[in-house]
A and B are shown apart, each in its own frame.
Chain A
Amino acid sequence: MSEEIKNFLYLNRRAPYGTIYAWESLEVVLIGAAFDQKVSLAFVDDGVFQIAKGQDTSGIGMKNFSPTYAALGDYDVHQLFVEKESLEERGLTVDDLMHLTWEDEDEDWAEKDSIQVVSRLELAEIIAAQDVVFSF
């Protein structure tokens, strides 16, 4: 295994249940967390629905995997960018999203928000700064 640390971005673009991309993306994130890379996630387009709160899949016979996002902080994955325009286009605000947090080891385990709302322009810059972009 290489000692090199790269910037990994997981770009989540799709709604959580219509296709399997969101769930299988999360599986990559969880496995990838063991590799000591610098990891962040971005949610754009219908991907913002992946972290919407109050998800209920009881009517469609699929596993509700949304609680898994709350565990990401424990995997040291705590940079979750959400594109502002994608929220607005769907009539959502940050209050419609799950409250995802992580504990900062360097600040006596202070609880901090994982979600950062960024503009489309800012996200473009974030993407441009990555070494690896996994697009799901």
Chain B
Amino acid sequence: MKFAIQINEGPYQHQASDSAYQFTKAALEKGHEVFRVFFYHDGVGNGTRLTTPPQDDRHIVNRWAELAEQHNLDMVVCVAAAQRRGLVDDGEAERNQKDATNLHPKFRISGLGQLIEAAVQSERLVVFGD
């Protein structure tokens, strides 16, 4: 089956990203396809490369990045949600005159159209959040 994944909550505060990760990993290992993982609302916080959890805790951002590396996952952070919450890549830094970037290179910033497209193209949209 072809899945689209939407994550609506930030890391560590909420289990949504953990559950989405476990679901996505299990689906891929069973041979299913994941068309896209879309991060929305505070979920955009899953994409910051500056995350530094304690050493005995899971690294939610790197864990997503490793899964993306293994399975060539498309991980998209919503641009409007990202701008509100200070998630910045090179393009956004230039466009909005910011002096730093924090987006992990395995993620990309794009528009809400990517979420709609993922829902259209996939057989199931699975939303993680409250």
Contacts and interface: CB of A to CB of B under 8 A. Distances in A.
Q: Do A and B bind each other?
A: yes
Interface string A1-13: 1101010100000
A37 B121 contact: no
B112 A31 contact: yes
A135 B64 CA distance: 23
Interface stretch (A19-27, A65-73, A94-102, A118-126): A19-27
B115 interface: yes
Contact of B41 (A6, A24, A133): A24
A37 B125 contact: no
B4 to A, nearest CB: 9
Q: Number of contact residues on B: which range applies?
A: 10 to 19
Contacts of B1: none
Contacts, number: 47
B86 interface: no
A4 B112 contact: no
Interface string A99-136: 00000000000000000000000000000000011111
A133 B125 contact: yes
Contact of A24 (B40, B113, B121, B127): B40
Contacts of B117: 1, 35
A27 B113 contact: no
9 contacts: A6-B120, A27-B80, A31-B111, A31-B112, A31-B113, A31-B116, A132-B125, A134-B119, A135-B129
